[in-house]
Amino acid sequence: MIDSARLRHYFTNLQTRIVSAAEAVEGSTGSTFRVDHWEKEAGAPIAGSGCTCILEGGRVFERGGVAFSQVSGVELPASATAKRPELAGRAFAAMGVSLVLHPENPYCPTAHMNVRALITTRADAEPAWWFGGGMDLTPYYPFAEDIRHFHATCKQALRPFGDDTHARYKRWCDEYFFLKHRNEPRGVGGVFFDDLNEGGFERCFALTRAVGDAFADAYLPLIERRQAIPYGERERDFQAYRRGRYVEFNLVWDRGTLFGLQSGGRTESVLMSLPPIVKWRYDWQPAAGTAEAALYEMLTPRDWA
């Protein structure tokens, strides 16, 4: 039995918990999230509503967004049926939480997390549903112990769902968050899954909750460790350059961004993942032996956990 109210309760509660945890990292002298409720006009081909919590210019986070959205429509957008053409023409309802946190300090990594559910219907067929999501880490000046902690937390969260589940979803993440036009990973990975319906609704919902619930423990301790490290213009400049890769991936390859725009999601909320300061350079490479070059050595996928 698909209980949409139960899904919504989990996703909205997860959003509240993560916002509270991020505000705790900001501290008493930091910023709080602005809460932006939005709603699409009823009766339109694509209907929906949501709540975007956005923080800009914080003490720790230069930009952060934690968004809940719920949309529905009479026909699945092309981004959702590209790999499952048999679902073309079905009505759909989708909901989930998506977040990106961009710290100001270049020694702190950027992180992304998304968990979502999608249900499709057609009058002459049974409903088809699936879950998707994951989390990944994008450092600028990486620390091996931080990357190991992030991956180990992901592995522990997925342990109850099979011995090979983490390995499969880690490999999927490495393959997904890859800039094909540059032949380069976006970051150091994490876990990723999509079209998940194997093992029944309860198992899939539990796995999705496990990923969502693990995010704060996987990521926020890294910010606590690194936010006080001194940095200068050189580090900020490199951070802005590497953020360009983040923007390229989200606008060129990310299925979630395409689905959000094609399904009539609120544009400001869909694009909240983009960092506020970004730079591009023509055919630039870091000098060998520098701290900047060390990042590229860390990007090669490996068993961090």
Q: Known catalytic residues? A: 112
149 is annotated as contributing to ligand binding: no
| Annotated binding-site residue? 37 | no
User: Is 98 part of any known ligand binding site?
Assistant: yes
The number of residues in the chain equals: 305
Query: Was 255 annotated as part of a binding site?
Result: no
Classify the C-alpha dihedral 246-194-304-228 as positive or negative. Answer: positive
269 is in an annotated binding site: no
The Cα 173–Cα 154 span in angstroms is 12
Both structure tokens of 124: 């002459």
Sign, CA dihedral 223-189-295-305, equals: positive
How distant is the alpha carbon of residue 263 from its chain centre?
A: 18
* Distance from C-alpha of 166 to C-alpha of 178, rounded to nearest angstrom: 19
Q: Is 188 helix (H, G, I), strand (E, B) or coil?
A: coil
Annotated binding residue at 266? yes
DSSP designation for 143: -
Q: What residues have CB less than 8 Å from 23, skipping those under 6 apart?
A: 30, 32, 33
Rounded-to-integer distance, Cα 167 and Cα 145, Å: 19
Residue 4 labelled as part of a binding site: no
Q: Output phi, psi for 234, to 5 deg.
A: -60, -45
Task: Point out the annotated binding site for substrate.
Answer: 98, 114-116, 264-266
